[in-house]
Chain A
Amino acid sequence: MSVNGVETFVLLFPNEEWSNTATDSQLDTVVSQLRPNISFYDRIDDNLTTLSTQNADKDGTISGFLYVPDIDKSDDCFELSKEYLPSNVTRQANLPPTDFTLVALAPWINAECTLAWMRAAHEDPARAFLFYLPDNSTDQPPDASSAVWNLQDGGTWKNIYQYPVYIIPGAVGFELMHNLALYSGNMTSVPWGHTISELPGIDPRDYVRMYTQLYVGNDSGLPSLWVFLLAVVGVLLFVLGATSATMHLIQRARRKSLERRVASGEVNLEALGIKRLTIPQPFIERLPLFTYSAEPDISYPTSPQYKAMMEDAKDIPSSPTTVSQRHRSLTAETDDPPQVVVVDDNTSNPDSVLIHKFLPYSQPTCPICLEDYESGVSEIRELPCGHIFHPECIDIFLANNSSLCPLCKKSAFPVGYCPTKITNAMVRREKNLRRLRSRVTLDPDGSDLEANQTRGRLHEIGSSIKKTILNRKEDAPPIPLEPQPVLMTSALTELPQDQHLHTSFGSSRSRAEFVEQRIRDLTARQVPIRDPDVIQDRRVPQCKLHPFVYPNLIDKYQGEKR
C-alpha cells in the first residue's frame, strides 16, 4: 500500500459564487484539467517513501487539491515555517469553498513542526500528506524505518492522524511548493493566466489550482522481512529438491547398475543372501531337456586332464571300489597341489568346455531323489551350470524353493534376465558384501583390525585344537585336506562340501588359516565378468567350489563387522 506515483496538474474550477450549476454532480463536468502546455504538470514515479498507510486504499488513487495546512499562529513552527514557504502559497482559504478533498504538502523541518502540520491537516478534509526534506535532493528519501522520520512519540501519530503520509524528494517538494505559490491567486496572476482567460467559456473569477493524484498499490512488493523469509524458504526448497533429485538419480543409477550385473550373471542375489528367488514356470520349461545316456561320445580330444576327468566322472559314489579308487587318486594328487589347481582352472584350461559338455551326462544319480538315471530312458533337465536332474525333481525345487542349483548354488536364471525389481536395500546390501569381500582380500597381512581380531581369536582355539588333531592324525589314515577342486569339478559327489566337513578330517592347519585361505579363494573366484565372450560362456560350468557353499564364513565376518 505504498505510493507508486504522484501526479500533479492544474485544474480549472468554476467559482460557485457566480455559477448556479455548482452542484457536486455537475461540478464534475465543469471542472477541467488544463493542458500541460499552458499549465503546470508533473508526475513522479520514483524515489517515493511511504511513512504511514492509514486509510489508504489497497489499490487505487488518492486525489485532492494540493495545499499547505495552516498552523496555529501561536505555534513556534508558524514563524519557523516562514523560512521554508513562499508567503503566497495555496492555503485552504485560497481553495474553492466547496467541500473538496485535499492533499497536504509541507516541508519536514523537524519532528515538532511535522506534528503541528499533521495536527492542522487532521482538522481539514485532507486525504493524504506529502512531506519533503528541505534539502533540494532528487534522491530517494531515507527509508521509512530511518531515524529521520522519528517523531519521538513511539509511532502513535499513525493512529491519531487517519490519513496516509508519504515523502517525496526534496527537489520535487520544493518545485511543487514553488508552483503552489504561483497558483494561489486569481486567474490573471497564474502562469499563462491571460491565455487561459481567453479560452472560450472561461470566467476570470474561476479558480485555477493545483490538483494531485497519488497512485497507491502493492507493486513495490512485500515487506522486506517477508521477502527475506520467502527467499530463505525458496532456497531451502531448492536445495532440498536438488538434493533429493540427485539422490534419486544416484540411487537409480546404482539400481540400474546392479540390475545389469544381476542380468549378466556377475551378481547372484540369492547366493548373496539378499533375496530368495524362485524361477517362473516358463523359464523352467525353457531349460534344456535331454534323455540320459550313460555312454559318452568319445570323439573329444583326450588330454591327460580330460582323461582324469573321465575317470573321475565315471565314478559312482555308492560303489565302494570306486570310492576307494578315488581316494587313491586324490591322495596322489594332493602331493602335487599346483597341478590340481591347473586341472580345476576353467579359464586357463581350453579343455574345460569340452569336459563340461561331457559332464552332465556322466552324473549318474539325481541328487534330489537319489535315484540312478536309466540310460536311454530317463529324461533329464540340465541347468545352466551343467548339473542334471530329473525334471520332476528339479522343477518343483526351482519353482518353489530357490533359483540356485542344489549342487553348486549357481543361478539357473538365463543370462540377461533380472528376476526381480532391484530395491535400494538390495543395492546397499550388495555393496556392503562387495566391500567386505574386497577388504578381506586386500589385507592378506592381517592389517585389517576386525579380521585380525577374528583371526586372533580363532588362532587361540585353533592352536589348542591343533595338538589334538595332530596327535590324531598320526593314527588316522591320511585323508587329503583339500580334495575339493577335483571332486567338485567332477560334479559327482557332494560329500565334503560343508564347512564343518572341511575341517573335520585331520586338518593340520589352524582354523584361522583355513578361514583366511577360504575367504581369499572365494573372492579370487568372484572376478567381475566384463568380457562379453566370458558372459556368453556362462553355460560353461564353474562347478568347482562355489563361494556360497560357505555362507557361514561370510556371516561370521559380517557379525564381526557389526
Chain B
Amino acid sequence: MTQKRISKELQECLTTPPAGIKVNLVDEGNIHNWNIVMDGPADSPYVGGKFQLLLVLPTEYPFKPPKINFKTRIYHPNVTFDEHGSMCIGILKSDSWKPSSRIPNVLTAIQQLLLEPVPDDAVEQGAAQKFKEDRKAFDKEARDMTKKYAK
C-alpha cells in the first residue's frame, strides 16, 4: 500500500507539481527519496533562489510523516543554518500528521513558511531575533545568503 500510495503521489507531483516546485527522484530505483527544487517565493527575501530539499518517505508512509530537509543553506528562523537544514513545521510533527495529508500540502506549507516565518517556533535563534527586531536587516541578510548559496 505504501508503494502504491507513494507512486500515486509521485505521479501527481511529476505531472502537476505545485507552482514553483520541481520534483524528481534522487535515484530512479527508489521512490522513497525525492529531490525537490523550490523557487524562493516572490515577495520574500528568498526570491530568485533555487532551494534544494530532500524528502524522505518512511516505509510506514502515510502513517508516519515524511522527513524533509533543506539541502541548500537558507537563512530562516525555522530552518537550521547548517548542512542538515532541519526545519520545524507543524504539519510534519507526528502528532499533527494525518495520513490524508499529501506531499503537495507539505510543499505548499514550506513555501508558506518561507513567505511567513514563525519566529516564536524558531530553531535558528539569531535569525529569529533579527526577524523580530530588525526586519530590514533580516531581509538583507536573507537576500545575501540566497545569492550566496541558492543560485
Contacts and interface: CB of A to CB of B under 8 A. Distances in A.
Interface of A: 273, 367-371, 392-393, 396-397, 400-401, 406-407, 409, 457-458, 460-461, 464-465, 468, 471-472, 494-495, 497-501, 503-504, 548-549, 551-552, 556, 559
Contact of B63 (A401, A464, A495, A501): A401
Interface string B109-151: 1011101100111000000000010010000000000000000
A460 B134 CA distance: 12
A140 B13 CA distance: 105
A508 B111 CA distance: 18
B99 A499 contact: no
Interface stretch (B27-35, B49-57, B66-74, B88-96): B88-96
Contact of B4 (A369, A407, A465, A552): A369
Interface of B: 1, 4-5, 8-9, 43, 60, 62-64, 89-91, 93, 95-96, 98-102, 105, 108-109, 111-113, 115-116, 119-121, 132, 135
B30 to A, nearest CB: 20
B105 A368 contact: no
A471 B115 CA distance: 14
B6 to A, nearest CB: 10
A552 B118 CA distance: 12
Nearest to A270: B95
Given A368-B99, A494-B101, A551-B95, A504 B4 contact: no
Contacts of A504: 108-109, 111-112, 115-116
Given A397-B63, A468-B43, A406 B112 contact: no
Contact of B109 (A401, A494, A500, A556): A500
Contacts of A367: 99-100
A407 B98 contact: yes
11 contacts: A368-B1, A368-B5, A370-B8, A371-B4, A464-B135, A494-B105, A498-B90, A500-B112, A504-B112, A552-B121, A556-B120
Contacts of A458: 120
Nearest to A320: B16
Contacts of B116: 465, 503-504
Contacts of A392: 1
Contacts of B91: 498, 500
A278 to B, nearest CB: 11
Given A464-B135, A556-B120, 17 more contacts: A369-B8, A371-B8, A396-B1, A401-B64, A494-B98, A498-B96, A498-B105, A500-B91, A501-B109, A501-B112, A503-B116, A504-B108, A504-B115, A549-B96, A551-B90, A551-B95, A556-B121
Given A370-B8, A396-B63, A461-B132, A500 B89 contact: yes
B90 A369 contact: no
B90 A552 contact: yes
A559 B112 CA distance: 23
A407 B108 CA distance: 19
Given A407-B100, A500-B112, A501-B105, A370 B9 contact: yes
A235 to B, nearest CB: 49
Contacts of A396: 1, 63
A498 B5 CA distance: 21
A379 B112 CA distance: 38
Nearest to A460: B132
A409 B98 CA distance: 8
A492 to B, nearest CB: 11
A461 B138 CA distance: 13
Nearest to B5: A369
Contact of B62 (A273, A368, A499): A368
Contacts of A468: 43
Contacts of B93: 551-552
A324 to B, nearest CB: 14
Contacts of A406: 98-100
Contacts of B5: 368-370
A400 B116 CA distance: 35
A294 to B, nearest CB: 20
A313 B35 CA distance: 35
Given A464-B135, A503-B112, A498 B101 contact: yes
A471 B43 CA distance: 10
Given A392-B1, A401-B63, A500-B109, A457 B120 contact: yes
Contact of B119 (A461, A471, A495, A498): A461
B43 A472 contact: yes
B100 A273 contact: no
B88 to A, nearest CB: 10
Contacts of B105: 494-495, 498, 501
A497 to B, nearest CB: 8
A500 B1 contact: no
B143 to A, nearest CB: 15
A504 B62 CA distance: 24
A396 B61 CA distance: 12
A1 B34 CA distance: 93
Contacts of A273: 95
A470 B149 CA distance: 30
Contacts of A559: 120
Contacts of B60: 401
A369 B100 contact: no
10 smallest CB-CB distances across A and B, nearest first, come from A367-B100, A552-B90, A406-B99, A504-B112, A500-B109, A401-B63, A494-B100, A498-B91, A370-B8, A500-B112
A499 to B, nearest CB: 6
Contact of A552 (B63, B64, B96, B98): B96
A493 B100 CA distance: 9
A503 B50 CA distance: 24
Contacts of B4: 369, 371
Contacts of B43: 468, 471-472
Contacts of A501: 105, 108-109, 112
B10 to A, nearest CB: 11
Nearest to B99: A406
